Amino acid sequence: MSRKVARTILLLAPGLILIGFLFLFPLFGVLKLSLFNPGFTTASFEKLVASPVALLVMERTFILALTVTVLSVVTGYPIAYYLATSSPRWRTILVYLILLPFWTSILIRTYTWMVVLGREGLVNSVLQWTGLIDGPTQLLFTGLAVHLAMVQILMPIVIITCYSTMIEIDEGLIRAARTLGATPGQAFAKVFLPLSLPGVATGAAMCFILSLGFYITPALLGGRRNVMLSNLIDFEVHQTLNWSFASVLALVLLAATLVALGLFRLVAPRRRDQG
């Protein structure tokens, strides 16, 4: 064994120990728990297929993640476009403005929505003050609250990934299209939009994968219908103590994440190696 190989192993060892003991090994434990109780059994997987709750929660999780992703991309894209096409002097400040909420924890951003949407909260008091509604309306603990907060939390990711692709687009191409007689709209649709799609795909994939695992926001803002897989896992761990079923649900979530990641790798054009 050459010294170089030895050195590489030595450098990697602490990382391998950390990841091995506190990441791979515990995940393996989850896999084991889902299949052994204590002997080999597929009971928990059978329960998954037979449980209306688990199936409904899986469906809702998927739909919510998809909706939030579409909303974030559709509303975030124009913001990224504006950033990319604004003057370089302003651009840095504007980008930091978008990043500002991104730097605060999800817990706190969720909390701010509790303050804004509560029955005695800002939106309700403003609506009542202006006379638009008579009594307070239910905003907190609804699907609307979950959607609003999740889009607000995830949109900066979409904006930043779209933006970083957009600023790489050669302006000359747009100008060329214009000189060839394309209207600004056509130039955007035929040239700019297709070129920005890799950024959109990356942003959407990240948004979707992160949405799948959301826990805090639906737990604090959602009503009885807004239960996501993470919340159900928590319930099975702490309330029903059915850890083997919790493990099966965790595997489902893991599989969904990996499939989403794989699909994205498959569809997305191979990106140039950054460096």
Partner 1 sequence: MMNSFTFTRRLLGAAAFAAGLAGLSAQAQTTIVVNGSGGGLAQVITKIYEEPFTKETGIKVRATAPVSLPKLKAMVESGNVEWDLTELGGDDLLQARANGWLMPVDWKVVDPDNKLPAIARLPDAMVTATFSTVIAYRTDKFPAGKAPKNWADFWNVKEFPGPRSLQNSPVGNLEFALLADGVPKDKLYPLDVERAFKKLDQIKPHVPTWWTTGAQHVQLLLDGEVVMTSVWNGRISPLRKEGKPVALAWGGGQLQLSYWGLPKGAKHPAEVFKYMSIRLDPAKGAEFVNQVPYPGFIPGLMERLDPQVAQDLPTYPANVEAQFQFDPGWWAERRAALTERWNAWLLQ
Partner 2 sequence: MRMSPARLALTVYFVIGVIFLIFPLIMLVPLSFGESQFLQFPPQKLSWKWYAEFFNDDSWLRATLLSLRVGIGATIISLVVGTLAAVALVRGQFVGRGLLMSLMVAPLILPTVILALALYILFLRWRWVDNALALTAAHAVIALPYVILVVSTALKGFDITIERAARILGAGPVRAFVSVTLPYLMPSLFAGGLLAFFASFDELIVTMFVSGGLETLPVRIWNDLKLRLDPTVAAVACMLIVVSVAGMGLAEYFRQRNLRRYHNS
* Residue numbers 121-180 binding partner 2 by CB under 8 A: 121-122, 125-126, 129, 152, 155-156
Distance in angstroms (rounded) separating the CA atoms of residues 261 and 271: 15
Buried b (16+ CB within 10 A) or exposed e, 80-100: bbebbeeeeeeeeeebeebee
In the list 35, 66, 70, 106, the residue contacting partner 2 (rule: CB under 8 A) is: 106
Interaction mask 234-263, partner 1, x per CB under 8 A: -x-xxxxx----------------------
Distance in angstroms (rounded) separating the CA atoms of residues 87 and 95: 12
Q: Which residues contact 195 (CB under 8 A, 6 or more apart)?
A: 165, 169, 173
Nearest to partner 2 of 50, 241 (CB atom): 241
Site for partner 2 in 208-237 (CB under 8 A): 209, 212-213, 215-216, 220, 229-230, 233-234, 237
Shortest separation between residue 139's beta carbon and partner 2, angstroms? 13
Shortest separation between residue 203's beta carbon and partner 1, angstroms? 30
Distance in angstroms (rounded) separating the CA atoms of residues 250 and 230: 8
Task: Count residues binding partner 1 (CB under 8 A).
Answer: 24
Q: Which does 257 bind (CB under 5 to 8 A by kind): partner 2, partner 1, none?
A: partner 2
Nearest to partner 1 of 26, 269 (CB atom): 26
Interaction mask 60-79, partner 1, x per CB under 8 A: x-------------------
Shortest separation between residue 239's beta carbon and partner 1, angstroms? 8
Which DSSP state fits 39?
A: S
Q: Provide the terminal-to-terminal Cα distance of the chain, rounded to the nearest Å.
A: 31
Q: Which does 106 bind (CB under 5 to 8 A by kind): partner 2, partner 1, none?
A: partner 2
Nearest to partner 1 of 60, 157 (CB atom): 60
Distance in angstroms (rounded) separating the CA atoms of residues 109 and 189: 35
Chain center to CA of 206: 5
Residue whose pair of structure tokens reads 């297709």 in the numeric block: 194
275 binds partner 2 (CB under 8 A): yes
Site for partner 1 in 177-236 (CB under 8 A): 223-225, 227, 235
Tokens of 4: 């170089």
89 binds partner 1 (CB under 8 A): no
The dihedral built from the CA positions of residue 150, 153, 159 and 160, taken in this order, carries a sign that is negative
Cβ atoms within 10 Å of 143's Cβ, excluding its own: 16
Nearest to partner 1 of 239, 274 (CB atom): 239
Residue whose pair of structure tokens reads 């498959």 in the numeric block: 266
Buried b (16+ CB within 10 A) or exposed e, 188-197: eeebbeebbe
Distance in angstroms (rounded) separating the CA atoms of residues 261 and 266: 9
98 binds partner 2 (CB under 8 A): yes
Shortest separation between residue 107's beta carbon and partner 2, angstroms? 5
